[in-house]
Structure 1
Amino acid sequence: MGKKIPLMDLMWLLAETQANPIHVCGLMLFEKPKGRPQIVREIVAAYREAQPSPPFDCVPDLEVTHAPRWREASDYNPRYHVQHIALPGGARYEDLLHLVGDLHETMLDRNRPLFRIWLIDHVPGRRFALFFKMHHAIIDGVSASHRVNASLRTTRRLGVPKPLFAVDLPVRKPRPPKALIKQVLGVSSTATSQYLALLGSLRKGLWNWMGGKTEGSVPFAAHRGPMNEPVMNARSVATLSLPLKDMRRVGKHYGATLNDVAMALIDEGVHRYLEEMGQPFGHHLMAMCPVSLREEGDGSAGTKVSAVFVRLGAPESSVLERLAQVSASMSAAKDEVRNMSKETALGYAAGLMGIAGLTAVTHVDRVAPPSANLVISNIPGLERQLYLHGSPLVAAYPVSAIAVGVGLNATVISSNDRMDFGFVANGASLRKLPALAGHVEAAWHRLAGATPGR
């Protein structure tokens, strides 16, 4: 019998639709060494020789005759899961982004292991790209970052390490089992805590929607915007890299975290982008921000994440004012999650996902307040220069999932000396996404220029 699918991972499978697939993706760019025109073919050949490790060798079994479980795949076709493609001659970077959007928009085949990788040759600037797509039920942003680290080297030494889907990562040892009576009481206490946390959040969201002022994490309190239009298959994608050291310095000067700085820039960029589209948003944006619940060194598969809902800056604010507003809102929201147990936080997130999915299926989401306007996620980074078969990694852009009813995702990762931003959006309502990246970059220049000591 296969391994049982945990509740949070199951929710990703149940919430998924053809128009709104739920997978974690990443776009990595490598500099192609001179005199090695066959390097991409060599990597493809090595990847096709690798055997997937659990759960990348499994398929979901959701038959009603038994509890949902993972079942070992009966067939694995390496040529399907590891693809080699090339951009046409004269292609631009924008063509790569269009390709990534096309690859992102389709569901993974549930009759096969839930991952695919594309090695993309002839990227402008003497580069090649690696784009991976893995179902959110088997991986989250933090575990994806661990796998990227494990699948690359810290030197230019030739040779292809095991790919993301084949690396062996440590799994944190489970805590010793409690006595039976404590287990029963613990489950009851956790379930009650999850219910109360969910009920409290919904109550705050309703009060906020009615005009009351609330603090902390407030789901289902967002005003509807272009980001909340029905999600269709099309995806638009954009990327951006900013100097990590300078962003840290700016944050330190204003008593804000690196994540606060990134969120303030995204907040400013989205408002400017919507203005350019002719659809100015006259309200605070509400951001859903995933919070990792993994303990240090935990490289296990699956999803271990909760979420906070953060009110961003006032529409008319400057980027400097936004930074202060975002920092205060994020601090208050995180305080609520810190007061939850890990089990309560996971159940709370699963409950919110279930409500969001139910409102989408019944179309209640078209009249009720959205859970959020956008998702902003920060993934722990790649602190060293990394290489693949002697090729230096020059950018690593997260291209994450579109949440139910929330058609814009901005995910950031610190990568060596850069902060890499990956944007993905519902292409039916948010087009020309590179313009958003441009507005975020412009916001950075305004913030950096206003900071003394640059």
Structure 2
Amino acid sequence: MSKKISFLDRTFWITETEDNPKHVASLQILQKPADADSDYVQRLFKELHAHSNAKPPFNCVVRRFLGFPLKLVSVAQLDMDYHVQMHVVEDINDRQALHKFVAELHQTWLERDKPLWQYHLISDDKSKQFAIYVKVHHMYGDGATLIRWFQAGYTESVKTDEFIPVWAADRSPRSTVKVSVVKQVGLGLWDLFITLKDLVWIIFRLILKLLRINSNYMPLPFSGTKTVLTGQVKKGRVVSTLDIDFARIKALSHRVRASANEVMLCVFDIGVHRFLKDYGHTFKRALHTNMPINLRKPGETTAGNRIAIVPVKLAHGENDPYLRLRQIIENHRVVKRAARVSHPMAFSYYTILIQSYSMLFELLHLSDWVKPIANILVSNLPGPPNTLYFKDSKLLASYPISAMTPGGGVNITMVSYAGKANIGLVCCNKNIPSLEIMSQYFLEAFAMLEGCIDDPSLNIDDIGEQITEEYSSIVDEHDIEQTVEK
């Protein structure tokens, strides 16, 4: 693979702090083989520890000049005591205790003088299950890239011979057709022109929305609401996970003529509202979510990051879950239409532009004083449809645990695996002790949305919204109302 670092990849390094590390992770739950004894995980740990011959980027460190990242360079030897670690807990089946343990692992940043990844095996030496917590720096790749890499480290059947962990697997780049330098420069200049033109058009449309001349465009940046989940990100994390039958999600999406992503946005919106109401929040305007957009072309398998992150307005003013879903569908499609008519890199540069302001506020410790870009970040990634094995252990679930965005909020990531939606939540713990009740609210919100299609009496009685009296206006007053906080 190329050892160059793109500008977007560099931003994950430049803006990283010990309070807000920029790694992404996965909590994997595995089932031991039927004949496994009490030393099974310890032997697996020793076997993994012995695989010290890593392949790029897992054998690469960041070469810097005055702290600025230049490129990835290979190291001669890995410190396997650092990269592969073993932990023993009291009860691996105590999910809340496991979440707390993983949150402690997740809050510390990866050492910058070593390749930016770690494997943590977690076992209680008595259960038939064990866990693997994996974290990798975001500059190595986006979610789609990392899922593709790690999926390659698993097999669809038990495989004990020639077992190779993901960091030692060969990922040689595909051969590409060589293009002349003149053509490369010409195409590059043309792409740059189109990108800048579309970027200017995006900013111009946002200015028109700010002036209330054209409201039918994606949300203005920093439209989020201050809550106990937002503000200056500090060291310390809370983590939670949940599962939803993906067949139920798809069936519901067909019935309501929505995408699975839009269905889950409605579920998360209702659950987050209920959670925040428990902390005394009431709302006169919709919450916003940050929505990652995959900018890769079909079949593109390059490393690094090829994403844009833009805010999407959620629902407000309806107690019927179905009507809230219809609001979210339209708001989501407004952003999708804006993305469809713009050059992909224009959205990427727009992401960098608005995120830079948010990162600056965080570096200056001003995030508590400004509105966040959004209240939650929701990612939905397709995973493997079939059951996979890690050597001879069956993978039961793989929960993504992402990085925190500047300005805080809860980061929710969903990955489909073997007929289930594995959902991971992470947030800063400076104001909240746990996310377990939020996970429960998500399950209840999905059941209510599923049931309200046939039973309109299933309504959200009170999620903390304050509904103003309707009247006609040429402007959307909800865009200027402020959230009432306790």
TM (norm. structure 1) is: 0.91
Q: 1:52 to 1:90 in 2, by over 3 A?
A: closer
Q: For residue 221 of structure 1, what is the aligned residue in structure 2? A: 223
Whether the aligned pair in 2 keeps the contact of 1:294 and 1:304 (CA below 8 Å) is yes
Q: For residue 441 of structure 1, what is the aligned residue in structure 2? A: 443
Decide which of 173, 185, 200 is 1:196's aligned counterpart: 200
Deviation at residue 157 of structure 1 after TM alignment: 3.6
CA distance in 2, matches of 1:102, 1:65: 27
Deviation at residue 87 of structure 1 after TM alignment: 0.9
Per-residue displacement from partner, 1:155-195 (whole Å, max 9, x unpaired)?
Answer: 13434732232333464666735626624632540452364
Deviation at residue 382 of structure 1 after TM alignment: 1.5
Deviation at residue 90 of structure 1 after TM alignment: 8.2
Q: For residue 371 of structure 2, what is the aligned residue in structure 1? A: 369
CA distance in 2, matches of 1:420, 1:315: 30
CA distance in 1, matches of 2:423, 2:317: 22
CA distance in 2, matches of 1:202, 1:402: 26
Whether the aligned pair in 1 keeps the contact of 2:14 and 2:68 (CA below 8 Å) is no
Q: For residue 44 of structure 2, what is the aligned residue in structure 1? A: 43
Greater Cα offset, 418-427 or 224-233 = 224-233
CA distance in 2, matches of 1:6, 1:90: 40
CA distance in 2, matches of 1:49, 1:294: 35
Pairing 1:70–2:72 present: yes
Deviation at residue 364 of structure 1 after TM alignment: 4.5
What are the within-5 Å matches in structure 2 for residues 376-395 of structure 1? 376-395=378-397
Per-residue displacement from partner, 1:309-354 (whole Å, max 9, x unpaired)?
Answer: 1101116533222221111111111122222223323322222322
What are the within-5 Å matches in structure 2 for residues 30-429 of structure 1? 30-37=30-37, 38-50=39-51, 51-64=53-66, 68-88=70-90, 92-122=94-124, 126-159=128-161, 161-169=163-171, 171=173, 176=179, 179=183, 182-183=186-187, 185-186=189-190, 188-190=192-194, 192-193=196-197, 195-196=199-200, 199-200=203-204, 203=207, 206=210, 213-314=215-316, 316-429=318-431
Greater Cα offset, 317-326 or 255-264 = 317-326
CA distance in 2, matches of 1:124, 1:265: 37
Whether the aligned pair in 1 keeps the contact of 2:119 and 2:132 (CA below 8 Å) is yes
Determine helix, strand or coil for the equivalent of 2:133. Answer: strand
Whether the aligned pair in 1 keeps the contact of 2:5 and 2:72 (CA below 8 Å) is yes
Per-residue displacement from partner, 1:177-215 (whole Å, max 9, x unpaired)?
Answer: 56266246325404523641563476368558xx99453
Letter in 2 for 1:271: H
Deviation at residue 392 of structure 1 after TM alignment: 1.6
Letter in 1 for 2:95: Y
CA distance in 1, matches of 2:200, 2:78: 44
Deviation at residue 248 of structure 1 after TM alignment: 0.3
Greater Cα offset, 63-72 or 442-451 = 63-72
Q: For residue 24 of structure 2, what is the aligned residue in structure 1? A: 24
Q: For residue 481 of structure 2, what is the aligned residue in structure 1? A: none
Determine helix, strand or coil for the equivalent of 1:414. Answer: strand
Whether the aligned pair in 1 keeps the contact of 2:275 and 2:437 (CA below 8 Å) is yes
CA distance in 2, matches of 1:140, 1:14: 17
Greater Cα offset, 264-273 or 149-158 = 149-158
Q: 1:183 to 1:34 in 2, by over 3 A?
A: closer
Greater Cα offset, 13-22 or 34-43 = 34-43
Deviation at residue 131 of structure 1 after TM alignment: 0.6
CA distance in 2, matches of 1:25, 1:264: 25
CA distance in 2, matches of 1:66, 1:219: 28
Whether the aligned pair in 2 keeps the contact of 1:3 and 1:71 (CA below 8 Å) is yes
CA distance in 2, matches of 1:278, 1:271: 11
Per-residue displacement from partner, 1:361-391 (whole Å, max 9, x unpaired)?
Answer: 2344433332111110011112111111222
Q: 1:180 to 1:139 in 2, by over 3 A?
A: closer
Deviation at residue 92 of structure 1 after TM alignment: 1.8
Greater Cα offset, 361-370 or 105-114 = 361-370
CA distance in 1, matches of 2:269, 2:347: 26
Deviation at residue 42 of structure 1 after TM alignment: 3.2
Whether the aligned pair in 1 keeps the contact of 2:55 and 2:171 (CA below 8 Å) is no
Greater Cα offset, 216-225 or 266-275 = 216-225
Whether the aligned pair in 2 keeps the contact of 1:91 and 1:123 (CA below 8 Å) is no
Determine helix, strand or coil for the equivalent of 1:68. Answer: strand
Determine helix, strand or coil for the equivalent of 1:56. Answer: coil
Per-residue displacement from partner, 1:404-429 (whole Å, max 9, x unpaired)?
Answer: 11231000011111011100001112
Whether the aligned pair in 2 keeps the contact of 1:288 and 1:376 (CA below 8 Å) is yes
CA distance in 2, matches of 1:198, 1:376: 22
Greater Cα offset, 251-260 or 428-437 = 428-437
Unaligned runs of 5+ in 1: none
Greater Cα offset, 339-348 or 163-172 = 163-172
Per-residue displacement from partner, 1:242-275 (whole Å, max 9, x unpaired)?
Answer: 0110110001100001111111111111001111
Q: 1:367 to 1:99 in 2, by over 3 A?
A: same
CA distance in 1, matches of 2:379, 2:185: 39
Q: For residue 431 of structure 1, what is the aligned residue in structure 2? A: 433
Greater Cα offset, 302-311 or 116-125 = 116-125
CA distance in 2, matches of 1:123, 1:303: 38
Per-residue displacement from partner, 1:206-232 (whole Å, max 9, x unpaired)?
Answer: 558xx9945325422222222222111
Letter in 1 for 2:316: A
Q: For residue 466 of structure 2, what is the aligned residue in structure 1? A: none
Letter in 1 for 2:406: V
CA distance in 2, matches of 1:236, 1:427: 6
Q: 1:184 to 1:266 in 2, by over 3 A?
A: closer
Q: 1:162 to 1:184 in 2, by over 3 A?
A: closer
Letter in 2 for 1:140: D
Answer with 1 or 2: which has the greater Rg.
Answer: 2
Deviation at residue 393 of structure 1 after TM alignment: 1.2
Greater Cα offset, 132-141 or 191-200 = 191-200
